[in-house]
Amino acid sequence: MSEDDRRSGERRRRWRQQTRMVRDGQVRSPHGETAEAMYLTSGYVYESAEQARDRFKGDADGYIYSRYGNPTVTMFEDRLAALEGAEACRATASGMSAVFASLMCQLNAGDHVVASRVLFGSCHVIVAELLPRYGIETTLVDGPDLDQWRAAMRPNTRCVFFETPANPTLELIDIQAVCEIAHEAGARVIVDNVFATPLLQKPMELGADIVVYSATKHIDGQGRVLGGAILSDQKFCDEELIPLYRHTGPSMSPFNAWVLLKGLETLELRVARMCDNAAEVARMLAETPGVLKTLYPERPDFPQAELYRRQMSRGSTLVSFEVEGGREAAFRLLNALETIDISNNLGDAKSLITHPATTTHQRFPPEEREAVGITEGLVRMSVGLEDVEDLKDDLRAAIAAI
């Protein structure tokens, strides 16, 4: 059977999710390599002057320059698009370049953006500080409060942006309800789906127009490379995103695309185990004296347990908790850990822990921090792939040391 026959086969069209993550997107070279080829090239050569002309005009398929596209990057884009169920995907150098490009490609001076208040630190900087410098007004709302979303919509509202579960409180936002409010106002919805991963929550099925990822997190999942992605329909990608993307250069390196392609192959296995570990860590923390509050969406005592059941399939790989004694106690806890590392990264095979108020959310005004629940005693743990009993031993001993 030829490679072309195999690629168009009936069974292939019916592939289930995990098979697609191992196999989708791969285009083999004439060498027949098993693993995806890594095309470390910035440019491409043409067979003739006519071919170069036709590619530049868009009349012929083929690569032109790796700022526009690269075969290894395309393989990653196609595999992630298949997983998300999106028509189009563009890979970016980092999660932040995905967030920035997804907003900037469609906004003009005089437009208005509505975003949730609890955001990843750099996303907050883009929305609250950078966009206003270019004449784009922004309104921040309390994400779970639908009345605030409704009240914030204006005739010039072009985009709505939020993350759910949100960093670091794991607060949830009702994706379907916010999409309905935004669409009625004529605005597009961008969801930063990093904490849920493409596996635990499908924002497009709930109405989102655009989904963005930091692939640095679970998709790599082994702390090696930066990457990001923007998923959307084909029309938005072709008409709005690509004109900005091609000329401003947020492109992903082919090496990183190759690492992330291999990450997608094991994403489901890793995320499933990390969620099991996170649920078990949350269960232990909730029963530990000195822990005032444990936040994990899968728990029945989670404040938004009903919304969790409607839009997520697992509680994520993150657990946040508040210790008695504020900042001093939180620092003592972090410093007493022997297995879990202090790091603001997340989604890694290694369990990591951070104190948001003094790191990722240091730039937030203190009153705003307290108002959204980022207290001085709050710590956020990204639960990894270690044996969960070792993680529990480490946490128990460090909490006792407070």
Ligand X SMILES: *Cc1c(COP(=O)(O)O)cnc(C)c1O
At closest approach, how far in Å is the CB of 90 from ligand X?
Answer: 15
195 or 321: CB nearest ligand X: 195
At closest approach, how far in Å is the CB of 184 from ligand X?
Answer: 26
Task: Give the 3-state secondary structure of residue 228.
Answer: strand
With CA atoms as reference, report the closest residue to 334 among 378, 386, 278: 378
With CA atoms as reference, report the closest residue to 17 among 175, 198, 235, 213: 198
At closest approach, how far in Å is the CB of 204 from ligand X?
Answer: 17
17 or 345: CB nearest ligand X: 345
List CB contacts of 374: < 8 A, sequence separation 6 or more.
118, 168, 169, 356, 357, 361, 364
At closest approach, how far in Å is the CB of 176 from ligand X?
Answer: 20
Which residue of this chain has its Cβ atom nearest to ligand X in the complex? 95
At closest approach, how far in Å is the CB of 137 from ligand X?
Answer: 22
* CA–CA dist 394, 321 (Å, integer): 15
At closest approach, how far in Å is the CB of 122 from ligand X?
Answer: 6
Residue pair 200/218 in contact by the 8 Å Cβ criterion: no
94 or 253: CB nearest ligand X: 94
Biggest CA–CA distance in the chain, Å, is: 74
153 or 381: CB nearest ligand X: 381
Amino acid at 188: R
CB atoms closer than 10 angstroms to residue 34: 6
Q: What single-letter DSSP state applies at residue 320?
A: E
> What residues line the site for ligand X (CB under 6 A)?
94-96, 99, 120, 123, 163, 167, 192, 194-195, 214, 216-217, 226, 228
* CA–CA dist 394, 58 (Å, integer): 58
144 or 228: CB nearest ligand X: 228
Amino acid at 264: L
Instruction: Give me the residues paired with residue 88 across strands.
Output: 232
125 or 146: CB nearest ligand X: 125
At closest approach, how far in Å is the CB of 312 from ligand X?
Answer: 15
153 or 215: CB nearest ligand X: 215
At closest approach, how far in Å is the CB of 214 from ligand X?
Answer: 3
96 or 307: CB nearest ligand X: 96
List CB contacts of 357: < 8 A, sequence separation 6 or more.
327, 369, 374, 375, 376, 378
Task: List phi, psi (to 5°) of 322.
Answer: -115, 130
